Amino acid sequence: MSDPELDDAPRPPGDPGFSDALTFSFADPEGTVCGVARLGLSDGGASGLVMLFRDGEQLTVLADGEGTPGAAWDEVRAAGLATETPAAGGWALRGTGDVPFDLRFDPVGPPLVLDASSAVGRAGGMEGFDHVCRVSGTFGGAAFAGMGQRGRSWGAPDWERMTLARTVTAWFDDDHAFSALAIRPARASSHAEEAVTAFLLDGGPRDVAEARLSTTYDAQERQRAAGLEILLGPEEEFPRRLAGEVVAGSSLDLGRLRLDCAFFRWRWDGRTGSGRYDVLRRTG
């Protein structure tokens, strides 16, 4: 992590509305146990969010806006979360809430870098990097083994210029995963007009020329099923196709915004995996 663009330390405050976040998400292969944990820094304070699920049911949703900030992520405390960066590599995530967990995240490949000049970086005002990880440890007192992602993001998103942001991930094994971010500009009306930046692991990192996402929603506009077509370039005769359906999810009112967090079971070319499909939308 000697590259300054991949410096893991919290960023110094920038423009008004600037925020910095560290996000962990994880699921077992069938999506039986899954969750997301987020630490955030903004306006000199710290916040935390924990959403945990088992067997399709919500176990806990905890939002804490009065955490303790720090100069390093391992010093930040909120929502009962604590992180550790062992010298041997990887990361540890611990939660001390109603459902305690102690998980280790070991990266399986190089970072997926979202820079300011990318389509999503330009549209959403954010940048950062993610690592697809193998995840192990304990969850609710039982052994856990699965896949997940550790992500860093920072910037000053302008919600006057956009109405919706998506995070889509699919984890199959150490060599196969998909991750994408999408931003819908304020004047756009559908998936087709969103700015998308996508990453594919298929026996190694692959450049994605285009990712087409279709989604089925319920009456409350929560994502229930999705299909993905991934085009790597003009030399590819056929796109890679992924299909997924929700296994667990919850919605959270964030004032001006609403978060629809969902975990999906994904299928791709005979493989079955899990992942996260979040929609953060402007309300009103």
This prediction's pTM = 0.94
Q: How far apart are CA 46 and CA 235, in angstroms?
A: 47
Q: How far apart are CA 239 and CA 261, in angstroms?
A: 27
Quote the Cα angle for 11-17-19, to 5°.
Answer: 30
DSSP line for 124-149 = HSEEEEEEEEEEEEEETTEEEEEEEE
Q: How far apart are CA 124 and CA 119, in angstroms?
A: 8
Q: Reduced to 3 states, what is the DSSP secondary structure of residue 105?
A: strand
pLDDT tens for the chain, 284 residues long, are 334 347 899 998 877 889 999 999 999 998 999 999 999 999 999 999 999 999 999 999 999 999 999 999 999 999 999 999 998 899 999 999 999 999 999 999 999 999 999 999 999 999 999 999 999 999 999 999 999 999 999 999 999 999 999 999 999 999 999 999 999 999 887 777 899 999 999 998 998 999 999 999 999 999 999 999 999 987 788 899 999 999 999 999 998 999 999 999 999 999 999 999 999 999 97
Burial degree of 90 (CB within 10 A; 0-12, 13-18, 19+): middle
Instruction: Tokens 């069938």: give the residue.
Output: 30
